[in-house]
Amino acid sequence: MTIVAVICEYNLFHNGHARLLAAVRARLGPDTVILSLMSGNFTQRGIPAATDKYTRAEAALACGSDLTLELPPPYACAPAQRFAQGAVDLLAALGGIDRLAFGSECGDLALLQTAAKRRSSAEFEKALSEALSCSGAYESFLRVRERVYAEQYGALSLAPNDQLAVEYLTALSGTAITPAVFPRTGTESATAARAAFLARDGRALAALVPPAAEKLYRDAPLASERYLSRAVLYRLRTARPEELARCSGMTDELAYRLRNLALESTDIDGLLARAATKKYTRARMRRAVLACMLDIREQDYSRPAYTLLLSASKRGREALRALRAQAQIPIYDRGAQITDRLCGRSDALYTLALEKPADAGMILRKSPGIEK
């Protein structure tokens, strides 16, 4: 049995995702088991997923994924480096994963591997550390890293999926999992699919996602960052800056900045617009704010200690049995079985992000989608 993993958010699952899964089977064989390691209810952008993790996993099941497991917080809502490392660590802990498949704009594995090797070198890490200590408030981490890379090796322009591919390759070092890169094709994007879904524009959504997914999304619960505005502002207004600064992604400077601006702001978008600088991008601040809401600390980024079953096909159930026989971490069937504090907090907070708010246990009562 060949198991190929795909690290994903499926927020939302669109035609490009379907083409990747089809390409995996075309290259590696029709009997290949595809395991989707998917972010839960909050994503790498620091925002709630457009619809809940079980609905997204069911869409993946309907469109070619055999087994969908959850990448838990805090890794799912972390910057790219930690997102990739946490996901790869979880896959390695499962055992039995043969390959990691991912899309890339350039499709050049050798080029991506060279970039990963260079970024991991002691010389580059030293130069990056020195540059970051001198950058002050004028450059973000990504801009500094790009500048240092260009100074040492020449400019290298990488598109978003290529950047994430480099992080995957770096994280795969030392594991038995082999990378499999697939050129990204098509113009569909998760951003466009989310926009159509959140606007309840069925016609636009149907042009972007597979029919089986579109059918599931028609009546799916809708979630948005704007519904969390009051809860977020209350947290920022009433917490002590030093308390906020203890959370992942925060600094003393950013904690005071967000706290003071929260006193004058009435929604998240307005707050982030006023707080943004070249150093503190909106994406970074969204992740930091979410860390404050969930109380994510640096010590929470050790190694993933569990995963949760979200959906499985018949072939996926067979693979699940094989994984459970050798996995170094538990694979839970129900969210209520998980004792990790961040899982419960994430699910409870997500119910407040829904268009129609639900009780805190709504997500916990959901069951994985299982093909009969």
How does DSSP assign 98-149, residue by residue? Answer: -EEEEEESS--HHHHHHHHHHHHSHHHHHHHHHHHHHHTTS--HHHHHHHHH
> Are 33 and 45 within 8 A, CB to CB?
no
Please give the average per-residue pLDDT across 272-286, as a whole number. Answer: 91
Mean pLDDT, the chain, rounded, equals 94
* pLDDT at position 360 over 80: yes
Q: DSSP secondary structure string, 37-60? A: EEE-SB-TTSSB-SS-HHHHHHHH
Q: How far apart are CA 40 and CA 306, in angstroms?
A: 13
Of all residues in the chain, what percent carry a pLDDT higher than 70?
Answer: 99
Each residue's pLDDT tens digit, 288-323: 999 999 999 999 998 999 999 999 999 999 999 999
Instruction: Give residue 137's pLDDT band: very low, low, confident or very high (50, 70, 90).
Output: low
Q: 238 Cβ partners below 8 Å, 6+ apart?
A: none
CA 320 to chain centroid: 22
Count structural domains, the chain: 3
Each residue's pLDDT tens digit, 197-237: 999 999 999 999 999 999 999 999 999 999 999 999 999 99
Handedness of CA 189, 192, 198, 203 (dihedral sign): negative
Please give the average per-residue pLDDT across 328-343, as a whole number. Answer: 95
Same domain for 338 and 257? no
261 upstream amide cis, omega within 30 of 0: no
Please give the average per-residue pLDDT across 8-28, as a whole number. Answer: 96
- Per the domain annotation, does 295 fall within a domain? yes
Handedness of CA 340, 342, 346, 348 (dihedral sign): positive
Same domain for 85 and 34? yes
Task: Give the end of a domain, one of 299, 326, 360.
Answer: 299
**Domain limits at 260?**
225-299
Q: What's the alpha-carbon Rg for the chain, to the nearest Å?
A: 20
Q: Would you state the pLDDT for residue 185?
A: 83
Please give the average per-residue pLDDT across 133-161, as a whole number. Answer: 84
Other beta carbons within 10 Å of 242 = 10
Each residue's pLDDT tens digit, 81-124: 999 999 999 999 999 999 999 999 998 999 999 999 999 999 99
> Are 149 and 162 within 8 A, CB to CB?
no
Q: Would you state the pLDDT for residue 136?
A: 63
Instruction: Give residue 173's pLDDT band: very low, low, confident or very high (50, 70, 90).
Output: very high
Q: How far apart are CA 242 and CA 251, in angstroms?
A: 9
Instruction: Give residue 269's pLDDT band: very low, low, confident or very high (50, 70, 90).
Output: very high
Q: How far apart are CA 57 and CA 77, in angstroms?
A: 17
Same domain for 20 and 90? yes
From the number of C-beta atoms within 10 Å of its C-beta (0-12, 13-18, 19+), residue 308 rates as: buried
* pLDDT at position 75 over 90: yes
Bridge partners (DSSP) listed for residue 182: 103
- Rounded to two decimals, what is the model's pTM? 0.94
Same domain for 167 and 99? yes
Please give the average per-residue pLDDT across 141-150, as a whole number. Answer: 89
- Per the domain annotation, does 112 fall within a domain? no
Which of 367, 263, 323, 346 minimizes the C-alpha distance to 76? Answer: 346
Q: Would you state the pLDDT for residue 186?
A: 82
> Two tokens at 141?
């981490």
Task: Give the end of a domain, one of 252, 275, 299.
Answer: 299
* pLDDT at position 53 over 80: yes
Same domain for 100 and 196? yes
Give the CATH number for residue 319: 3.40.50.620
Same domain for 202 and 270? no
